[in-house]
Amino acid sequence: MAAHVRHVEVDAEFAGQRLDNYLSRELRGVPRTLIYRLLRRGEVRVNGGRVKPAYRLQAGDDLRLPPVREGRGATSEPSAQVLERLEQAVLYEDDDLIVLNKPSGLAVHGGSGLGYGIVEAMRRLRPQCRFLDLAHRLDRDTSGCLVVAKRRSMLKVVHAALRAGEVDKRYHALLAGTLERRTEAVEARLERQKGRGGESVMRVSAAGKPARTVFHRERVLRDWTLVEAELHTGRMHQIRAHAAHIGHPIAGDRRYGDKARNREVRQAGLKRLFLHASSLTLPHGPLTVRAPLPGDLQAVLGRFEMQQGSN
């Protein structure tokens, strides 16, 4: 627990970073829910004034940081086992960025009872890095290639490449049913809406933002299809929403999937969403990084292959 109010001057390296992300680094071990509460109450101030979480920092900004303690009931520090798991998950690293094979089940940011996420854990693993932040996101249940920028300049480069469509992102997914065509291009606008329980969901809507996904059929196993999904845009839950839209939801998808099909695939040992970010190509060299399909997903495919062979 900090004993008194601190004042921190923002270094030029962090100019342009969101305040909430900066605070997650500066207030190590403090849950993001508490950080947002401090901002709402005005206990964190920039240059003497109240600010919103999305405020973009400027070099030389004076941050007032109140005494804080770790939130009760939240796991605020990654265990040694989690840190070791992430260290082993590094697929590529240089002076500018890290590409991880993100494990399923780990959120990219802390919150909702968890005081840390992958970015906070990586800051523990790389304390010598003055800047470390996510270049993009993956859902908590999704595994695979995740880029963490080690420089603010690199973060801007990756964001610009994503906006320009210069990043090639490929995923592997297991879809319910048989995808009849070898290649299925889906162009359907997606709009964020409130679903049951108040959670955010993406729905196909004429009022939504343009979204394009191309599904490439790889294997048909019983009444399931393994596909490679090629993203041409980066909307939230895009692959999941588009797969459901064409009548082939992803196995294990509790939000967009089919309950009966999910029960079936659970019997084959699937305990999570069958979605894996299998490869990523960046205009950084260029650089292509591939993440092998995790063992739990390979095991599900293996069981379906055995069942198919016995029929």
Helix H segments across 42-182?
80-88, 118-125, 152-163
Which of 280, 15, 85 shows the shortest CA–CA distance to 171?
A: 280
CA dihedral 139, 140, 146, 147 (to 10 degrees): 90
Q: Catalytic residue at 139?
A: yes
- DSSP, res 237: T
Enter the DSSP assignment of 126. Answer: -
Q: How many CB atoms lie within 10 A of CB 169?
A: 20
Residue 141: how many CB atoms within 10 A of its CB? Answer: 19
**Residue 256 DSSP SS3:** coil
> H-type helices in 60-135, by residue range?
80-88, 118-125
Residues 141/273, Cβ–Cβ less than 8 Å: yes
Given the residues 61, 133, 139, 258, the one annotated as active site: 139
Distances (CA, A) of 37 to 2, 22, 132, 143, 214: 17, 15, 23, 30, 41
Q: Write out the catalytic residue numbers.
A: 139
